[in-house]
Amino acid sequence: MLFRPSLLMAISWLTVSCEGNKTSADSGCYDGFARDESGNCVADAAGSDEDGSVNADGATDADGTTDADGTTDADGTTDADGTTDADGTTDADGTTDADGTTDADGTTDADGTTDADGMSPIPCEGRTPGTNIGDCGENFTLTDHTGASVSLYDFYGDVIILDMSGYT
C-alpha cells in the first residue's frame, strides 16, 4: 500500500512527459517511444519502430539510421555488423562495398584505394623498385609464345618464381 502513490506518480510522469513531446501522429508518443498495452509511452526496445529512430534491437527501421545489430538498413549508413549497405560507406567486416572506399579486410574494392591488408593496388607504390633481395622488383615486359605482352606486375598479388634456366 505504501508504494502505490509512488507507482502512480511514475506512470503519471511518463504520460505527461510523452504528451508534452509527442511527435508521432500514430502513437502520440515522442520519437522512439510507442504505446504499450496499458497505453503508456515506453521506449521502443524491440521490433520495428514507427519513426525509424534508433532502437535497441536493431531491427530494420524506416529511416535507416544506425541501428544496434547492423542489419541492412535503408540509407546505408555505417552499421555494426558490416553487412553490405546501400551507400557503400565503410563497414566493419570489410566485404566489398559499393563505393569502394577503404574497408577492413582489404579485399578488392571498387576504387582501388589502399585497404587494411596493406597491399596497394599499385605494385611498388611508395617504394623504389630494384633487383636486390628486399627490393620491390623492377617491372619488365616480355612476349609469350602467342606474341602477347606479359609483365612481371601482371602477377602482382601472387608468389612468383622467375626461373631463368632456359638460356643457352
Partner 1 sequence: MCSTASELSNWIDDFGCTFPVLGDFDRAVFDQYRDGPFRPQYVVFDREMTILVRDDTPDAHVIAEAAALAAL
Minimum Å gap between C-beta 161 and partner 1 is 5
3-state secondary structure of 130: strand
Q: Which of 23, 27, 58, 53 is nearest to 41 (CA)?
A: 27
> Is 26 a residue that touches partner 1 (CB under 8 A)?
no
The interface region with partner 1, picked from 3-11, 12-20, 92-100, 127-135 by CB under 8 A, is 127-135
- Least distance CB 134 / partner 1 (angstroms): 7
Single out the residue of 68, 80, 104, 152 in contact with partner 1 (rule: CB under 8 A). Answer: 152
Asked if residues 19 and 33 have their Cβ atoms less than 8 Å apart, the reply is: no
CB atoms within 10 A of CB 92: 15
- Measure the CA–CA gap between 101 and 109, rounded to whole angstroms: 7
Q: Which residues pair with 8 in a beta bridge?
A: none
Q: Does 128 sit near partner 1 (CB under 8 A)? A: no
Which one-letter amino acid corresponds to residue 150? V
Q: Pick from 70, 76, 82, 123 the residue near partner 1 by CB under 8 A.
A: 123
> Candidates 33-41, 88-96, 101-109, 136-144 — which segment interacts with partner 1 by CB under 8 A?
136-144
Give the footprint of partner 1 on this chain (CB under 8 A): 118-119, 123-124, 130-138, 140, 142-147, 150, 152-153, 155-168
